[in-house]
C-alpha cells in the first residue's frame, strides 16, 4: 500500500525539488531517481535484505506517494508492493536528506565555478583545520586545500592564522573537486609583485623567471618593456618599501631582484649576487659556466648549503662551476637538490622537521634511532613508518 507524505511534506518537497532543478539545471527525474535509490537503501537498512530479490521504489511527487516493491531477480515483472506501515515518515526524511545533499552539491559546484576563473590569482584565507598533513583554509566563499608540497618549508601554521594564498588549481579528489592553494609556488611571488608594483601589473616591467626555495630565498629576474623604466628600481620601490611588502607576506623570505640580460656572462654574474668580481667562461655547447671567484667572495657565491649557486643555476639554465684561486671548487646544476635527504622524497612536513634539527643527509638520518626521531617536533608514528620505508 502506498504511503502518503503529509501535505506540508509534499509542499516542501515540491519547492525544494524546483529549487535544486533550477540551480543545477538538472531534470526532476534525475533527482527523483536519487531519492528512490535512497528509499530502497533506507528500507533495506530498517527491514532487512534478500540477495535473491531486487528492491526498487516508486515516488510520485504530484500525489505525494512513495512505494517499495520487490521482485525476483529473474522475474522483474512479478513485482509486489511491500511498503511497510509507517514508511511515510522514513520516505519524507529520506527525500529531505537527498534534496539537502543535492542543494549542498549545487552550492559547492557554484563556488568551484566561481574560483575556476580565479586560478592564478591571490586570495586571503584563514587556517580552518588540519587534515593529516593537509591544511584546510577558509577563503571566503568556500574552503580550499593546501597539500604538503604546497606549504612553505620553514612556515609553521596554526588555527585562525591569516595568510595570502595563491589559487593554483582545481583538482578532482576522492572528496570531489577541491580548490588547491599554495604558499610554495614561485607564481605566488610573481602574483605578489604584480599586486605591489604598478609597473609589473601594467606590463611595463616583466618578470622573466623566478627560482625559489620557498620560505628561504627567491631570485626574481625582471626586464623593462618600456624605455625609461628601471625594472629593478620599480620592484624594490622607494626605500625598499615594495619588495619589503612582498617579503613580509612571505614571512621574511629573502628576495634578490636581478635585471635580465641577453649576455650570459652578465646574466650569470647578476644571478650570483651578492658575490662580485667574477671571471666567467661560458661553454655554450655544454651549457656550462666556469667561474673563478675571489677567495673572500667564494662563500657568498656558493651561499648557505649551496643555495645561492643552486638558485643561479636554476635561473640561468647553466651548470655552474665555481673555483677560487686556491683551488676550492663547487658545482651547481639547475636540478640540484637543496639537501641530500631530498632524494628520499619524504613528505614536506617530515622533511622540514628533520632539516629544522640539522638532519640534512641520509647518513645523518641513519645515525638516529627510532626513539631519537620520535623526540623531534613534528615526527610521529606515521612519519617514522615513512622514513623506514624510504630508507629501505
42-61 pLDDT, tens digit per residue, is 877 777 777 778 888 887 77
The 3-class SS string of the chain reads CCEECCHHHHHHHHHHHHHHHHHHCCCHHHHHHHHHHHHHHHHHHHHCCCCCEEEEEEEECCCCEEEEEEEECCCCCCCEECCCCCHHHHHHHHHHHHHHHHHHHHHHHHHHHHHHCCCCCEEEEEEEEEECCEEEEECCCCEEEECHHHCCCCCCCCCCCEEEEEEEEEEEECCEEEEEEECCCHHHHHHHHHHHCHHHHHCCEEEEEEEEECCCEEEEEEEECCCCCCHHHHHHCHHHHHHHHHHHHCCCCEEEEEECCCCHHHHHHHHCCCCCCCEEEEECCCCEEEEECCHHHHHHHHCHHHHHHHHHHHHHCCEEEEECCCCCEEEECCCCCCCHHHHHCCCHHHHHHHHHCCCCCHHHHHHCCHHHHHCCCCCCHHHHHHHHHHHC
pLDDT category, 136, cuts 50, 70, 90? very high
pLDDT category, 335, cuts 50, 70, 90? low
Q: How do residues 179-197 score in pLDDT, each as one tens digit? A: 999 999 999 999 999 999 9
Mean pLDDT of 327-335: 73
Closest C-alpha among 241, 141, 118, 134 to residue 191: 118
- Structural domains in the chain, CATH included, are 3-115 (3.30.1480.10), 122-182 (2.40.50.140), 191-256 (3.30.300.20), 261-337 (3.30.300.20), 340-391 (1.10.150.20)
Q: How do residues 244-253 score in pLDDT, each as one tens digit? A: 999 999 999 9
Give percent above pLDDT 90 in the chain. Answer: 38
What confidence score (pLDDT) does residue 229 get? 95
pTM exceeds cut of 0.85: no
What confidence score (pLDDT) does residue 77 get? 81
pLDDT category, 257, cuts 50, 70, 90? very high
What would the grid cell of residue 69 be?
A: 516493491
Average pLDDT for the chain: 84
Mean pLDDT of 364-369: 82
Amino acid at each position: 500500500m502506498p504511503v502518503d507524505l503529509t501535505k506540508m511534506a509534499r509542499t516542501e518537497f515540491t519547492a525544494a525539488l524546483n529549487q535544486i532543478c533550477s540551480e543545477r539545471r538538472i531534470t526532476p527525474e534525475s533527482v527523483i531517481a536519487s531519492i528512490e535509490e535512497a528509499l530502497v537503501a533506507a528500507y533495506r537498512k530498517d527491514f532487512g535484505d534478500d540477495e535473491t530479490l531486487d528492491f526498487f521504489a516508486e515516488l510520485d511527487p504530484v500525489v505525494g506517494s512513495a512505494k517499495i516493491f520487490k521482485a525476483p531477480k529473474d522475474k522483474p515483472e512479478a513485482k509486489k508492493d511491500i511498503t511497510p506501515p509507517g514508511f511515510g515518515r522514513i520516505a519524507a526524511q529520506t527525500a529531505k536528506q537527498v534534496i539537502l545533499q543535492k542543494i549542498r552539491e549545487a552550492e559547492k559546484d557554484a563556488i568551484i565555478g566561481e574560483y575556476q576563473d580565479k586560478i592564478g590569482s591571490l586570495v586571503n584565507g584563514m587556517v580552518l583545520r588540519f587534515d593529516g598533513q593537509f591544511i584546510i583554509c577558509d577563503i571566503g566563499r568556500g574552503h580550499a586545500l593546501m597539500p604538503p608540497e604546497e606549504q612553505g618549508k620553514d612556515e609553521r601554521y596554526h588555527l585562525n592564522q591569516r595568510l595570502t594564498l595563491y589559487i593554483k588549481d582545481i583538482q578532482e579528489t576522492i572528496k570531489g573537486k577541491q580548490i588547491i592553494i599554495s604558499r610554495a609556488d614561485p607564481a605566488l611571488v610573481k602574483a605578489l609583485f604584480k599586486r605591489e608594483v604598478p609597473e609589473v601589473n601594467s606590463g611595463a616591467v616583466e618578470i622573466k623567471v623566478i627560482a625559489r626555495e620557498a620560505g628561504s630565498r627567491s631570485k626574481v629576474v625582471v626586464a623593462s618593456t618600456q624605455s625609461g623604466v628601471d625594472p629593478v628600481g620599480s620592484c624594490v620601490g622607494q626605500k625598499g618599501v615594495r619588495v619589503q611588502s612582498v617579503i613580509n607576506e612571505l614571512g621574511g623570505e629573502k628576495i634578490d631582484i636581478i635585471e635580465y640580460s641577453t649576455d650570459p656572462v652578465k646574466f650569470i654574474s647578476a644571478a650570483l649576487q651578492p658575490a662580485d668580481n667574477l671571471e666567467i667562461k661560458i661553454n655554450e655547447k655544454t651549457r656550462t659556466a666556469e667561474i673563478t671567484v675571489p677567495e673572500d667572495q667564494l662563500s657568498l657565491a656558493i651561499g648557505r648549503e649551496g643555495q645561492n649557486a643552486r638558485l643561479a643555476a636554476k635561473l640561468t639554465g647553466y651548470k655552474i662551476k665555481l673555483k677560487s684561486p686556491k683551488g676550492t671548487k663547487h658545482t651547481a646544476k639547475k636540478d640540484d637538490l637543496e639537501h641530500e635527504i631530498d632524494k628520499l622524497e619524504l613528505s614536506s612536513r617530515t622533511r622540514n622537521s628533520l632539516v629544522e634539527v640539522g638532519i640534512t643527509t641520509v647518513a645523518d638520518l641513519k645515525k638516529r634511532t627510532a626513539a631519537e626521531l620520535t623526540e623531534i617536533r613534528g615526527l610521529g608514528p606515521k612519519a617514522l613508518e615513512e622514513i623506514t620505508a624510504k630508507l629501505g
